[in-house]
Structure 1
Amino acid sequence: MSAVLRDAWTTVVPDMDDRHGPLPPLMLALTVVTGLVDAFSYLVLGHVFVANMTGNVVFSGFAIAGAAGFSLAASLAALAAFAAGALAGGRLAHRVGAHRGRVLHLALLLETTLVLAAYVIAQTTATPHTGAVQYTLIALLGLALGIQNATARTLAVPDLTTTVLTLTITGVAADSRLAGGKGSKVGRRMLSAGAMFAGGLAGAVAVEHGGTALPLLFAAVLLVATTIAAFTLTRSDASWTKPL
């Protein structure tokens, strides 16, 4: 148990001399953002995700089969927007990839702008969001989370992809001492899963008991804070800033 707690602690309060320096807690914050935004998209925009693309591929199959409540057009729109965002994030990373802190900061500026725009639209339009408003929100959020995922891929902080938890949860079980492994990184992996759970829970509670746009406001506030934190890292010349 002490090893798990130590691993979790060093993720939240990392060693600045570590290969990934201050990046792990920022990746955790972005994982919370994922939960918030996907809670909004699934509960408010219909059965569609803007961050977890595996779900949209499956939902497309459901829609083609005629299952109620699923839209092929919405799933494809989310997939297209996410891919476009990932393309933009990839181009950004390749252009300024010599400094990981600058890559993160610039990506967060774009993501924050897109999520704030989505919040303004969601807050100022009538619910339920349908038609052009629905697809505009899907496009903005899909672009934002595509940029986030491409950036997380570039930064490559182990077990903190900010979105995909399947391999993370697999690692918790498959690498455990019960399975014959070393039980390494359990604390970090559990934090990653917990961060997305917390974001999803907070987003769902906000939608059900607050306002439908509230998850996007929470996500935007968290992104602004993370962007400011990332800005302070752009001047660092520590070893963690070097590309992998």
Structure 2
Amino acid sequence: MPIMEAVRPVVRDARATVLPDPADRHGPLPPVMLALTVVTGLVDAFSYLTLGHVFVANMTGNVVFSGFAIAGAAGFSLAASLAALAAFGAGALLGGRSAHRCRAHRGRVLHVALVLETVLVLAAYVVARYDAPLGAAGARYPLIALLGLALGIQNATARALAVPDLTTTVLTMTITGIASDSRAAGGPGGRTGRRALSILAMFTGALVGACAVRFGDPSLPLLLGTLLLAGCTLTAFTLTRSDGSWTDPL
């Protein structure tokens, strides 16, 4: 019985994230943010496994990789890490400008960002599919630029929408929240289900992306990411017509 009592609120929280109450402050946004978290896992699996030791979403990793490269550690490229950081920063700037222009309606903020991100990831897929070898500079840096821009837009948009525990690209604070807010730590134990789903979404994207690279076509994670983004974009388009209270800026 104590175990069931502990599990029940986690399951309830997870269900509310996947099937949110329309009257909730964040309305239908949580499941879309979960889908974008899967996209993050897919594209970072692609970038790390096919473009060398570089991330296009996890900028903390690229800062660390830059230090490794300067120290002369094998397998790390300072130029690639800096390119990813620059592209991500440019994408975040673009995403921020877009969010501020559309801030009166959160559905429009999401839709505009997803249109841009989908186009960029689709372009990256075309490059990856038809421009080989991927590790060569002629393909590597355009891919880093396109994907860095896309994930910078996504991260800036997630920041603007501010759905709790669904940042789509960063899990450090999510994992910290599960432990530090738990009842074992003396906390309220809230949103554990949502946080667990966010971790699972990133893990799933990374696992599927890695399997696709290893056992299929290296460009397949980007195709899957494009399809997922296209679905999210269509969903977001329907949300632009909503006049619910969740659309109001925070």
Bin of the TM-score, shorter chain as denominator length: over 0.9
1:95 aligns to what? 101
Distance across 2 between alignment mates of 1:188 and 1:196 = 13
1:209 to 187, 205, 215: 215
Is 1:153 equivalent to 2:121 in the alignment? no
Indicate the percent of aligned positions where both proteins have the same amino acid.
74
Alignment of 1:26-37 (within 5 A): 26-37=32-43
1:39 aligns to what? 45
Unaligned runs of 5+ in 1: none
C-alpha displacement at 1:130, in angstroms? 1.1
CA deviation profile, 1:52-75 (whole Å, cap 9, x unmatched): 000000000000000000000000
- When the two chains are superposed, the root-mean-square deviation of aligned CA atoms in Å is 0.5
Distance across 2 between alignment mates of 1:34 and 1:126 = 23
**Partner SS, residue 135 of structure 2:** coil
Distance across 1 between alignment mates of 2:99 and 2:134 = 37
**Partner SS, residue 183 of structure 1:** coil
1:124 aligns to what? 130
Distance across 1 between alignment mates of 2:222 and 2:57 = 13
Unaligned runs of 5+ in 2: 1-6
C-alpha displacement at 1:195, in angstroms? 0.2
Distance across 2 between alignment mates of 1:7 and 1:51 = 27
Is 1:25 equivalent to 2:31 in the alignment? yes
Distance across 2 between alignment mates of 1:125 and 1:181 = 52
Distance across 2 between alignment mates of 1:127 and 1:42 = 15
Distance across 2 between alignment mates of 1:45 and 1:165 = 23
> Structure 2 counterpart of 1:163, which letter?
T
Please, what TM-score do these two structures have when normalized by structure 2? Answer: 0.97
Distance across 1 between alignment mates of 2:109 and 2:171 = 23
> Structure 2 counterpart of 1:115, which letter?
V
1:75 aligns to what? 81
Distance across 2 between alignment mates of 1:63 and 1:44 = 18
2:3 aligns to what? none
> Structure 2 counterpart of 1:225, which letter?
G
> Structure 2 counterpart of 1:168, which letter?
T
The number of residue pairs the alignment matches comes to 244
> Structure 2 counterpart of 1:5, which letter?
V
CA deviation profile, 1:27-55 (whole Å, cap 9, x unmatched): 00000000000000000000000000000
Distance across 1 between alignment mates of 2:246 and 2:19 = 15
